[in-house]
Amino acid sequence: MPKVLRADNMNKCLGCFTCMLTCAAVNHNNHNLAKSSIKVKTRGGLQSKFAATVCVACKEPACAEACPTNALVKRPGGGVKLIEEKCIACEKCVSACIVGSIHMDYDRKIPIVCKHCGACVRMCPHNCLSMEEVSE
């Protein structure tokens, strides 16, 4: 059964950014937080908790529909998979994403899209993230 990433326990988050560093390192061979598909930030204020912006694994992904070259294809369980060779870096997927979880890697000229691989989940020291089994 396919699995998707969920940020369902962010009240435990301390803002260590381990999830972001892991995602960037595992998926993009880079230790730059900007290369992560998960974005952790404060909700605002000095004593606020943290929030995570993650792909919600849409069953009918607007990002894939917006892509003129079919570089984003639906993955089982929701969300998309990037076919890098087809991407023309038009950024239409970025503006089409309903939760703002897609952003561009301007160095490589491709969008950074969550693969729902679970690397961030495995490395989070506070169990803020989870992988949820979903039907196809």
- Predicted pLDDT at 125: 97
Q: How far is CA 72 from CA 20, 44, 91, in A?
A: 22, 33, 12
Average pLDDT, 10 consecutive residues per value, the chain (136 residues): 96 96 97 97 85 96 98 96 98 98 97 97 97 92
Task: Map residue 64 onto helix, strand or coil.
Answer: helix
pTM of the model: 0.92
How far apart (Å, rounded) are the C-alpha atoms in residues 18 and 29? 15
Task: Map residue 20 onto helix, strand or coil.
Answer: helix
Q: Which one is the CATH code of 3-133: 3.30.70.20, 3.40.50.300, 3.90.550.10, 3.90.110.10?
A: 3.30.70.20
